[in-house]
């Protein structure tokens, strides 16, 4: 696969001719609608047999080979101009030979808030697990049910295992520290919660549980650890998987209600997988910036792999962007955009898409009614950069928030780099 950056004067027809493919294939893979208007700076995935990798500062032939799941000798054979394997330079083009399916397999989870098969069905080949979001627990340990039977059956028919997602959210939305406190400290409520989870896992034919308790009071940290140990024993005795979702921490003593009760070493000890939510640096009510800048994501992983076995870690992958009005005003909200909608917006407004090397993320500016806007989103380049961290840190895989809106280029990049594990 090649990722091509659109230049001024490019057309989809011209690019298709250059790479020996068709306009229809390029339009489909990149979710471009007629009349096929392109933006300068737009990244296009082109399904070619080889990958052209541009060497970044600090990369070695070994790290590049590991990232793409090929051998150093195979890269050297495809690049006769490289006479010294220890001397690469930034900006150098290296051909990565691709033959057959990548050998490195990863687990891929996808959260969904939609039960519409027409919207999410195309993602199933790219998933190991799907997690309907979510069963909500109340202070008495009772679960608000989901109408999830059709989704679970459809996923199973595509060899995708379903994970029961449970949250401490209150009716109308928002995580509740008080609900979590009740379930964690009231014996009767916790007994009811564990039994209701087991009943639902069994009756709905779930493969396992993903528990997502957020904003847990710091003083409930040990109680949360205790619940995880109890769930681990109960679920594993019945053959179910246990997954936890945790905030993106950079140290064990990071301060804040979002972080303190998430004890990475305990989650790594008792859970089968730990989903680290590495997104929302750029967020709805914050200033304009990348949603998942690679620097902060790397900081989180640097700590995480010291506390959790790497092959238990799922790195969170954002599947959305934001459109901010400028200048940013505290208390204002950005508009949520899909990645496909962001590129369409750039084409419609004539904006040039730029790529920020520090965050490894695309962005652009445009004007509407004389008001300046800034959009940060993801494209094939940013996905390839972050997905490369899975190999760099030897992680289990990734978890998408969410699969509700299709981003075909991102899945094609992932499929080009890794094979997708199936447990069914």
Q: Which residues are catalytic?
A: 214
How far apart CA 4 and CA 74 sit, in angstroms, is 23
| Burial of 303 per CB tally in 10 Å (0-12, 13-18, 19+) | middle
Which of 312, 330, 323 shows the shortest CA–CA distance to 345? 323
- The number of residues making up the chain comes to 424
> What is the Cα gyration radius of the chain?
22
H-state helical runs in 238-379: 264-270, 294-307, 339-349
Kindly state the tokens that stand for 303.
């700590």
Whole-Å CA distances, 376 to 30, 47, 287, 293: 18, 25, 11, 10
**Beta-sheet pairing, 161-167 with 135-137:** parallel
Query: Whole-angstrom distance between the N-terminal and C-terminal Cα of the chain?
Result: 28
Asked if 12 and 38 count as a contact pair (C-beta separation under 8 A), the reply is yes
Asked if 261 and 220 count as a contact pair (C-beta separation under 8 A), the reply is yes
How far apart CA 421 and CA 390 sit, in angstroms, is 14
DSSP assigned state of 291: S
How far apart CA 253 and CA 47 sit, in angstroms, is 45
Strand, helix or coil for residue 325: strand
Asked if 360 and 385 count as a contact pair (C-beta separation under 8 A), the reply is yes
């Amino acid at each position: 696969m090649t990722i091509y950056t659109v230049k001024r004067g490019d057309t989809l027809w011209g690019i298709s001719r250059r790479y020996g493919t068709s306009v229809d294939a390029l339009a489909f893979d990149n979710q471009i609608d007629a009349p096929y208007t392109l933006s300068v700076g737009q990244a296009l995935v082109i399904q070619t047999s080889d990958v052209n990798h541009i060497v970044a500062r600090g990369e070695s032939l070994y790290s590049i080979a590991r990232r793409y799941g090929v051998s150093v000798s195979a890269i050297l054979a495809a690049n006769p101009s490289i006479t010294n394997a220890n001397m690469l330079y930034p900006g150098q083009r290296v051909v990565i030979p691709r033959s057959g399916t990548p050998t490195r397999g990863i687990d891929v989870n996808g959260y969904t808030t939609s039960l519409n098969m027409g919207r999410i069905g195309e993602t199933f080949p790219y998933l190991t697990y799907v997690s309907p979001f979510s069963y909500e627990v109340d202070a008495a340990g009772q679960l608000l049910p989901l109408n999830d039977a059709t989704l679970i059956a459809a996923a199973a028919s595509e060899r995708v295992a379903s994970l029961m997602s449970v949250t401490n959210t209150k009716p109308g939305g928002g995580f509740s520290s008080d609900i979590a406190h009740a379930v964690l400290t009231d014996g009767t409520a916790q007994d009811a919660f564990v039994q209701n989870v087991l009943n639902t896992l069994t009756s709905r034919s779930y493969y396992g549980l993903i528990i997502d308790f957020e904003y847990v009071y710091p003083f409930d940290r040990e109680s949360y650890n205790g619940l995880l140990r109890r769930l681990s024993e109960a679920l594993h005795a019945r053959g179910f998987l246990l997954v936890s979702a945790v905030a993106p921490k950079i140290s064990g003593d990071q301060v804040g209600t979002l972080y303190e009760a998430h004890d990475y070493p305990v989650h790594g000890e008792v859970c089968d997988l730990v989903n680290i939510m590495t997104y929302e640096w750029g967020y709805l009510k914050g200033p304009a910036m990348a949603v998942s800048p690679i620097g902060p994501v790397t900081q989180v992983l640097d700590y995480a792999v010291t506390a959790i076995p790497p092959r238990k870690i799922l790195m969170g992958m954002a599947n959305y962007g934001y459109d901010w009005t400028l200048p940013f005003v505290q208390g204002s909200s950005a508009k949520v955009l899909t990645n496909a909608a962001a590129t369409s917006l750039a084409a419609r407004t004539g904006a040039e898409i730029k790529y920020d090397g520090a965050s490894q993320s695309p962005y652009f500016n445009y004007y509407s009614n004389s008001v300046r806007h800034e959009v940060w989103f993801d494209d094939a380049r940013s996905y390839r950069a972050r997905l490369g961290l899975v190999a760099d840190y030897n992680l289990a895989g990734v978890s998408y928030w969410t699969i509700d809106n299709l981003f075909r280029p991102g899945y094609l990049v992932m499929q080009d780099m890794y094979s997708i594990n199936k447990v069914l």
